[in-house]
Amino acid sequence: MAPPVPVHTIDHSPEYDDFIAKVTEFHKQRGTSFDPAPKLGLCQVDLFKLFNYIVERGGYDAVSDEKLAWRRMCEELGLMTSNPPAAAFSLKSIFYKNLAAYEIKTIHNKEPPPPEILEHTTAKGSGLLTRTLENYAPSRRETGTGFRDSDGDEGTPSKERPSEDTPGSARASRGLRQDPPQRVIFQPETSSSRAARHASGQQHSTPASHNSPHHSLPHSQGSQQHTMHSAPYQTPRGGASHSFTPQNPELQNAAVMTYDWTRPQALPVRPVRTPATDPNAFAEERRVARLQAAGRSAADLMQLRNPIRADKQFEGPNIYVRCMQSLLSRIPSEQAFALNHLVKISFERGDKFRFEQFPKLVEGLVEKGLEVGELFYKVEWTITYDPEQDDGPIGELDGNNGTSDIIERIEQLEAKPVVDGILPADFSDKLGMITEAVLTIRNMVMLQDNAAYIADYPILSDLLCIILHLPKLEMTVELKHFALDIAEQITPYLVLQSDDPLYRTLLTQLLNNSDDRGTILTALRAVGRISMNLAETNRLGDVPPEVLQKVKNWLLLNDDELMDACLDFLYQYTAVVANMETLIKASSLHDLVTHLVRLLSHGAKREQREIIVEPERRVKGPEDPLPVPEDLLHRLLAMPEPERCHTWVRCFFEEDPEGQVTQISIWQGYNSAFLEHLKKAGKQMIQAAEFIRSISQVYTNAAARIKKEVTPQGEVNKFIIDGIRPRSRPISPEGLEYFPCLWARKHRLPTDPPMAKCLTWLPGANQMWKHIVTDHLGESLDPETKTLKDKVDKYTCYWAACGKYNTPTEMNFYLFSSHIKLHAMQAFVKSGVAETAQTPGGSTSTSTKRSSRAHVTPARTITLKSEETLAVPADPRNPNGPHTAGGIPLSAALVLRNIARNVVKTEAQEELLKETGGEAGGWNERLFRAQRTRLYEIMAENKLLAPHVASLLQTLDDAAV
């Protein structure tokens, strides 16, 4: 038994006094009234306790959004009365009037709404933090035209107003009932009225009589007279005092007491009954007067004075109770009305429409759904709750524990002749109402609380079995889909054994409806979620092998939603060792594993990233142009100007956005190369100005300009050309690169210091080889055979950095010439792409193509490959936090891990080891041997899936041991 809640009292502590002082000052600045000790019933409310209690639970908006929160707080604070809803609303109003604006200002650091839309309105709903004058509009509850529960629940749906129907028509009765208008109950005057004041101010009271003029006044005027003359107090001369407050609380008007003369506000008024506003009442009075004059009896006059009028009848209960009672009445017209509106309410108000609030609603909907049997079979399904009734009629269902042989009973039923698509009117109406009843259940179980509530109702499983075993007709497709949706929502709260009728029925849907994607998808989800929200394990026993083969085939379809449902089913199924025996016999397990490994990369995005190990750097080139090779010089001298100038610039200079050369150095380089040869040939040199202009015709980005430099002698002008730089190695007009000869000019000993290189520029490896053989070794080709003479001698290699023949070595000259040819080939290949070109003399030469960015040493990089699959937040409440693997790849990895864990525990594993003598390694070796390489690749490239694949590989290694 719970301990009693202490009585609520005010603790006058320093904290309480300080809090009340702050709130009082706040309301004073705000211009609103404040009651430091409001009353709830007979208790004074401690505002300090109430404020802290509400703030700890998120504030006024958060508490108001929670169902029955204010009623629960009344209980916990010790403020309960005999009327809990009224106490809850009173507590909510106390906080709303006194503390809501203070909470917004001090706790949320926001500016509270103005008093016109906060303190001056009634406490209802929430949304104070976002309420402004622009977005606030009085609701139906606030204007008094809607229905509201005492604890703040929302009103009933408004009536659908037909445009052309009469009030008595059948169509008008199908709409939602209109909420009753807000009535103001007339309170007759019971106290004695007093006569008008004399000039002396003396009071004279006379007994009230039936002939008093106050009784002939309209209703609103009579109320005003009652307010003015019901209190026997004396008013000073000059009129009523604005500061007088009657001592009797019954005489205090709430509108007057809360009136603030500094802020004009509308006072509630009562309508005055006039012939224009109520013509029927005045017409009735005239008719009664005429009948009275005609001498009618008193009984007739009484009947006429109180006629039964349609607009004055009792409005009846709210729409929820009205629909439930209509459904339970079993009157077809009433049930049609109820089901029509229950479908709308369950769809529009599904988040608040709960079974537990309306007893007998489940029974009424299920009983209506069971009527479907009468349409297709010669049976009338009834429910019995007699625990001793064992052997009853075939149509009698067990309402306590469910009917265990419902499937066998359905198979014994005699079907009625029904033509699909041609339906009588009464048949169509009955089927429509049954569909609406099942649809209402389907809409309501989408709320988790409703699904958990109705899962404990055993007869619902019988209804689902009956619907799902209906004949395969077009008219029953919609009804079956609703039944499968219900099963999907309630199976997480059910423990279904392998012989349970609902479990067998769901498996039958997978077997017999393989052409209906919606049926397959919903049935798979319903089976895979059995007992998901319970502690019991879903073992999925006795699944037919045909179903397993179909699940394997459905995995091959390009349908993500269907694949996800199949993997959820397989994850549940492979978690049980006994099921692995059936899976091995039902289908090729090797093909299943292969496809599951393929699904590990489902929807993956492959990316490559280059990581720079060493950044690129510029190669410092020569400051002056290189000397012209001999063969290139002859070709250039044969060209006319300005073609010779253009070719020379292209062969000895390259584009570089950051490079520059002086105009004097490039002109001197051209002069030194051609001036003497042109004089001997009697030709003219190009002029310097024309030469400088020709450079921009070769390289468009090259521009001549004057650069100012500061020297010790002062500021000087430097004539430069931007955008080009001297080449480190010249190229031929065809773009083939020259390479210098690195052979030492003189013979040397190994102990001698390095000697100067030959550095003769040669266009190809063949020319390089001939140059070394003839110019450095002094050998000559045989004039007849054009080959080297065969001889044996001591030879030493003087090529730079060669250490193979650094001392005189006796060998055949053919062998030594091959060694030299290797140096020549390497010289042209190591800095570019080797190419074979035709030389001007007609011979073939091997050279290299010059790179467009030869002045830059490229960066050293390594390439990393990655594979990214679906990622989901590890914490759903923090979408920006770390992510983890999800979706189909994760499900496939978990199914593979289940297979690896449990296949070695089966009898099939022992039989395989006996057949192979233990050499094959069992089922894991057979299934995963060919997949290990791919698994290691996924583990290396997929960061999110790596832990799950590593767990799978670890399971395989542990099983092998």
663-696 tens-digit pLDDT? 898 998 888 888 888 888 888 888 888 888 888 8
CATH of the domain at 696: 1.10.10.10
Predicted pLDDT of residue 761: 86
For the ranges 197-211, 355-369, 443-457, 713-727, which has the lowest average pLDDT? 197-211
Question: pTM for this one?
Answer: 0.53
640-672 tens-digit pLDDT? 888 989 999 989 898 888 888 888 989 988 888
Mean pLDDT of 789-798: 82
Mean pLDDT of 118-128: 76
Of 572, 100, 937, nearest to 580 by C-alpha is: 572
890-925 tens-digit pLDDT? 999 999 999 999 999 999 888 888 887 766 678 998
Based on the domain organization, do 713 and 625 belong to the same domain? yes
Predicted pLDDT of residue 920: 65
Based on the domain organization, do 35 and 68 belong to the same domain? yes
Based on the domain organization, do 463 and 323 belong to the same domain? yes
Residue 212 contacts residue 193 (beta carbons within 8 Å): yes
Predicted pLDDT of residue 202: 39
Most confident of the ranges 21-30, 58-67, 424-433, 725-734 = 424-433
Predicted pLDDT of residue 736: 84
Q: Provide the Cα torsion 201, 202, 204, 205; round to 10°.
A: 70
Based on the domain organization, do 706 and 798 belong to the same domain? no
Based on the domain organization, do 324 and 397 belong to the same domain? yes
Indicate if the pLDDT at residue 889 is higher than 90: yes
> How many other CB atoms are found less than 10 A from the CB of residue 467?
24
DSSP-derived secondary structure for 777-836 = S---B-TTT-SBPP-EEEE---BTT--SS-S-EEEEHHHHHHHHHHHHHHHHHTTSEEEE
232 is a domain residue: no
Mean pLDDT of 104-110: 87
State CA 270 to chain mean position distance: 53
Mean pLDDT of 97-113: 87
Indicate if the pLDDT at residue 955 is higher than 80: yes
Which residue did the predictor score with more confidence, 871 or 82?
871
Mean pLDDT of 700-714: 84
Based on the domain organization, do 384 and 458 belong to the same domain? yes
Question: What tokens were used for 338?
Answer: 């109820």
Of 887, 872, 889, 926, nearest to 904 by C-alpha is: 926
344 is a domain residue: yes
| 565: exposed, middle or buried (Cβ count in 10 Å: 0-12, 13-18, 19+) | buried
Indicate if the pLDDT at residue 229 is higher than 60: no
| 417: exposed, middle or buried (Cβ count in 10 Å: 0-12, 13-18, 19+) | exposed
Based on the domain organization, do 296 and 350 belong to the same domain? no
Predicted pLDDT of residue 519: 94
State CA 245 to chain mean position distance: 61
Q: Please enumerate, as own/partner, the contacts of 53-60 that have beta carbons within 8 Å and a separation of 24 or more.
A: 53/77, 54/95, 54/99, 54/103, 55/103, 55/107, 59/103, 59/107, 59/108, 60/95, 60/96, 60/99, 60/100, 60/103, 60/126, 60/128
Indicate if the pLDDT at residue 265 is higher than 70: no
CA–CA separation, 435 vs 483, rounded Å? Answer: 10
Helices (H), ranges, 446-514: 448-454, 459-468, 477-490, 501-512
Based on the domain organization, do 323 and 464 belong to the same domain? yes
How far, CA to CA in Å, does 410 sit from each of 370, 383, 550?
13, 15, 26
pLDDT tier at 195 (50, 70, 90 boundaries)? very low
Predicted pLDDT of residue 210: 37
pLDDT tier at 141 (50, 70, 90 boundaries)? very low
Question: What tokens were used for 269?
Answer: 């008024």
How large is the C-alpha radius of gyration of the chain? Answer: 51
pLDDT tier at 134 (50, 70, 90 boundaries)? low
273-306 tens-digit pLDDT? 788 777 878 887 887 777 777 766 555 555 554 5
Predicted pLDDT of residue 287: 78
Based on the domain organization, do 388 and 464 belong to the same domain? yes
Of 549, 531, 551, nearest to 540 by C-alpha is: 531
Indicate if the pLDDT at residue 11 is higher than 90: no
- The percent of residues above 90 in pLDDT, for the chain, comes to 29
Average pLDDT for the chain? 79
Mean pLDDT of 489-512: 93
Task: Among 834, 857, 880, give the residue marking a domain's end.
Answer: 857
81-92 tens-digit pLDDT? 777 888 888 888
Mean pLDDT of 379-384: 92
Task: Among 822, 857, 892, give the residue marking a domain's end.
Answer: 857
339-349 tens-digit pLDDT? 999 999 999 98
Residue 707 contacts residue 717 (beta carbons within 8 Å): yes
Predicted pLDDT of residue 757: 79
For the ranges 166-170, 687-691, 728-732, 771-775, which has the lowest average pLDDT? 166-170
pLDDT tier at 786 (50, 70, 90 boundaries)? low
CATH of the domain at 86: 1.10.150.60
72 is a domain residue: yes
pLDDT tier at 451 (50, 70, 90 boundaries)? very high
> How many other CB atoms are found less than 10 A from the CB of residue 903?
26
Residue 391 contacts residue 351 (beta carbons within 8 Å): no
498 is a domain residue: no
3-state SS record for 41-109: CCEECCHHHHHHHHHHCCCHHHHHHCCCHHHHHHHHHCCCCCCHHHHHHHHHHHHHHHCHHHHHHHCCC
Based on the domain organization, do 660 and 766 belong to the same domain? no
pLDDT tier at 220 (50, 70, 90 boundaries)? very low
878 is a domain residue: no
248 is a domain residue: no
Mean pLDDT of 452-471: 94
CA–CA separation, 75 vs 5, rounded Å? Answer: 8
937 is a domain residue: no
Mean pLDDT of 805-813: 84
CA–CA separation, 859 vs 618, rounded Å? Answer: 10
For the ranges 40-44, 181-185, 364-368, 763-767, which has the lowest average pLDDT? 181-185
Indicate if the pLDDT at residue 219 is higher than 50: no
For the ranges 16-30, 176-190, 499-513, which has the lowest average pLDDT? 176-190
Based on the domain organization, do 339 and 397 belong to the same domain? yes
Name the residue type at position 144.
Answer: G
Residue 299 contacts residue 321 (beta carbons within 8 Å): no
540-599 tens-digit pLDDT? 999 999 999 999 999 999 999 999 999 999 999 999 999 999 999 887 899 999 999 999
Task: Among 671, 695, 726, give the residue marking a domain's end.
Answer: 726
Based on the domain organization, do 105 and 136 belong to the same domain? yes
Range of the domain at 83: 14-143
67 is a domain residue: yes
pLDDT tier at 613 (50, 70, 90 boundaries)? confident
Mean pLDDT of 484-502: 94
Q: Name, in order, each residue with C-beta under 8 angstroms of 490's C-beta and a sequence gap of 6 or more.
A: 445, 451, 454, 455, 460
Mean pLDDT of 13-24: 89
CA–CA separation, 872 vs 891, rounded Å? Answer: 13
State CA 475 to chain mean position distance: 37
* Number of domains making up the chain: 5
